[in-house]
Amino acid sequence: MKIPDDIRRDIPLTGEVIYFDNTATSLTPRPVIEAMDEYYLKYRANVHRGVHRLSQMATQKYEESRKIVADFIGAKFEEIVFTKNTSESLNLAALGLEGVFRKGDRIVTTPYEHHSDLLPWQRLAEKLGLKLEFIKGDDEGNLDLADAEKKIKGAKLVAIQHVSNALGVIHEVEELGKMAKEEGAIFVVDAAQSVGHMEVDVNRLHADFLAFSGHKGPLGPTGIGVLYIREEFFDVFEPPFIGGGTIEDVELCCYTLTEPPERFEAGTPNIGGAIGLAAGIEYIQKIGLERIEKQEHRLVKRTTGGLTELEVPWYGPRNLKKHAGVVSFNVPPLHPHDVAAVLDDHNIMVRSGHHCALPVMKKLGINGTVRASFHVYNSLDEVETFLGVMEELVKSLR
């Protein structure tokens, strides 16, 4: 598959706008939409327990989708739990692990986390009397690994994002996971910005829990997410929600949970979303993750180089080997929203604001950034158009 021309033909919107808002949500290829349409038009039914053939077909496709997701991240079939999104997955992880903590236990994370990988742990710490500690890092988002080793020693849980949605920095998750395992700590990975953009293997990362959304890197629909739960935690992880589909037997006095993964998926799931997510993953696999990484690296290199030439301040690691396809910048004295509005007038879609990472913005002493984020269907020609508009904007301010 040629990059990005053949892919762009599968996504009509790429011919109408320059879409640089992939960190928030990616565009959807036709094969994903077609897979979902097939479910809704040809075998629309609920999954599990149904005897009729439509339910049997829906169940088969739903569970095939789980297998595709599991294989994609190196997990076992039963370790994959479907959720709404990364935020729900991380909240479920925190709620389900309440029982493993004792007052005074320590949770270690970083000051660069998305709110979804910060607030659940803050709430848990306040509720249970835990200590929340942060690994030191610099203004580019680079972590102090010596400090990480010191903080992780004796910790009960370590929660780390793989890629920062605000700065684009790729954290040393594999190394941090190894530190956590050596200390017997539970290791939680927020992979919202890495799955679908680069190789993610739960075993290589030493992840006990890992969360991501379908609508970002994997090119799937909104409303579907994944929580990976390592098998050894099945009996200590208490399902936050129980009811339809989660039980083996019920008496008026008590109940018995069914086996994973069903025990973690109460009620009717997003069947069409799971099927769409699997179709997105198959589309990604056809392209190849290595090719996707290379394409995004080219775009980041040209974008950061162009902004530097224009003397536009940008944020994140200067070592571009550690910089994923997310470039945040500002154009003083304009507010980030004003810059985004100018770009929108030129059919260039970017995100502006604090990006659900307020501690990062406060650390940098700014009220937000403009963020251009890429996927494989973005092209160097689009970056050149973006830089041309930026050049005119900068000239108008001088």
- Here the tokens at position 91 are 């909240």
CA–CA distance, 249 with 258 (Å, rounded to integer): 8
356 is catalytic: yes
- The β-bridge partners of 210 are 189, 228
Residue from 247, 356, 358, 380 carrying the catalytic annotation: 356
In the chain the first and final C-alpha atoms are separated, in Å, by 44
Cis ω for the linkage preceding 111 (within 30 of 0): no
Q: Cα-Cα-Cα-Cα dihedral of 181, 185, 189, 190, to 10°? A: -160
* Whether 32 contacts 41, CB under 8 Å: no
- Here the tokens at position 213 are 């959304």
CA–CA distance, 321 with 226 (Å, rounded to integer): 27
CA–CA distance, 39 with 45 (Å, rounded to integer): 8
**Nearest CA-CA partner of 34 in 23, 42, 25, 45:** 42
- List active site positions: 356
